[in-house]
Amino acid sequence: MPSEQRSVLIVDDEHDIRELLVLTLGRMGLRTDTAATVSAARALLAANRYDLCLTDMRLPDGSGLELVSEISGRFPNTPVAVITAYGNIEAAVEALKAGAFDFVSKPVDIHMLRGLARQALDLHTRVAPPQDDPASRLFGESEAMVALRQTIAKVARSQAPVHISGESGTGKELVARTIHAQSARSAGPFVPVNCGAIPTELMESEFFGHKKGSFTGAHADKPGLFQTANGGTLFLDEVAELPLAMQVKLLRAIQEKTVRPVGSSAETQVDVRILSATHKDLAQQVDLGSFRHDLYYRINVIGLHVPPLRERTGDLKLLSTAILQRLAHAMHRPTPVISSEALATLEDYPFPGNVRELENILERALALADGDIIHADDLHLPRVPRAAQAAATATAAGPANAAPAAAQGADPRTLSPYDTASSALPSYIEEIERAAIQQALQENRYNKTKTAAALGITFRALRYKLKKFGID
Ligand X SMILES: Nc1ncnc2c1ncn2[C@@H]1O[C@H](COP(=O)(O)OP(=O)(O)OP(=O)(O)O)[C@@H](O)[C@H]1O
Q: With contacts defined by CB under 6 A, name the span among 165-173, 290-298, 388-396, 448-456 that binds ligand X.
A: 165-173
User: Any contact of residue 171 with ligand X (CB under 6 A)?
Assistant: yes
Binding residue (CB under 6 A) for ligand X from 161, 169, 224, 307: 169
Contact flag: residue 173 with Mg ion (CB under 5 A): yes
Please give the biggest Cα pair distance in the chain: 79
- Tell me how far apart the alpha carbons of residues 146 and 316 are, in angstroms, rounded to a whole number: 14
**3-state DSSP helix/strand/coil % of the chain, to nearest 5:** 50, 15, 35
Q: What backbone phi and psi angles, to 5 degrees, belong to 5? A: -75, 135
122 binds Mg ion (CB under 5 A): no
Closest CA to 449 of 39, 141, 249, 440: 440
- Residues in contact with ligand X, counted by CB under 6 A, come to a total of 16
Q: Of 41 and 152, which CB lies nearer to ligand X in the complex structure? A: 152
Verify binding: residue 170, ligand X, rule CB under 6 A: yes
Q: Which is nearer to ligand X, 159 or 442 (CB)?
A: 442
Nearer Cβ to ligand X (140/398): 140
Q: How far is CA 238 from CA 42, 166, 258, 275, 306, in A?
A: 43, 11, 23, 11, 15
Q: In angstroms, what is the minimal distance from the CB of 352 to ligand X?
A: 11
**Which of residues 50 and 235 has its CB atom nearest to Mg ion in the complex?**
235
CB of 154 to ligand X, least distance (A): 18
75 binds, among ligand X, Mg ion, none (CB under 5 to 8 A by kind): none
Q: Is 359 in the site for ligand X (CB under 6 A)?
A: yes
Residues making up the chain, counted from first to last: 472
Give the nearest distance from C-beta 399 to ligand X in angstroms: 17
Q: What angle do CA 375, 349, 455 make, to 5 degrees?
A: 130
H helix runs in 258-374, sequence order: 282-288, 293-299, 316-330, 340-348, 354-368
In contact, 31 and 52? CB cutoff 8 Å: no
242 contacts which partner out of Mg ion, ligand X, none, CB within 5 to 8 A by kind?
none
How many other C-beta atoms can be found within 10 angstroms of the C-beta atom of residue 128?
A: 7
Q: Which is nearer to ligand X, 139 or 297 (CB)?
A: 139
- Residue 352 is a binding residue for ligand X (CB under 6 A): no
Which residues form the interface with ligand X (CB under 6 A)?
A: 138-140, 166, 168-174, 279, 319, 355-356, 359
Which residues form the interface with Mg ion (CB under 5 A)?
A: 173
